């Protein structure tokens, strides 16, 4: 899983089985549930094929998912000012945020996959 920043459950399961052949898919789901509850991973999804991706970088940032090839990219440098507005409006002390955009990446658009 090295280098895979936004894996699906199936990808996590396959990587886990390489190191622990006896691990079950249920164990992966249960572990992800605990990690989500503790704020250690975020669920992104589903993509156009229905697969849920998991965000391993829990720092506040924007994600963009290609609806064709399922590529997910992180944008850390974009600040919308939305967090400050939400805090001002609600009085909440925010501990994180998740923003997700869907679109067609430049590669898929060039390949004519946008139809």
DSSP per position, 50-109? SPPEEE---SSEEEEEETTT--EEEE-S---SHHHHHHHHH-------EEEEEE--HHHH
Annotated binding-site positions for Zn(2+): 66, 69, 105, 108
Place of tokens 């572990």: 31
Annotated binding-site positions: 66, 69, 105, 108
């Amino acid at each position: 899983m090295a280098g895979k920043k936004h894996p699906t459950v199936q990808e996590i399961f396959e990587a886990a089985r390489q190191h622990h052949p006896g691990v079950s898919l249920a164990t992966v789901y249960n572990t992800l549930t605990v990690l989500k509850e503790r704020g250690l991973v975020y669920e992104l999804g589903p993509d156009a094929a229905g697969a849920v991706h998991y965000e391993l970088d829990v720092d506040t940032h924007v994600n963009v998912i290609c609806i064709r090839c399922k590529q997910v990219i992180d944008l850390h440098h974009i600040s919308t000012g939305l967090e400050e507005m939400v805090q001002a409006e609600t009085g909440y002390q925010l501990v994180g945020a998740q923003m997700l955009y869907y679109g067609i990446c430049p590669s898929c658009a060039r390949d004519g996959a946008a139809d």
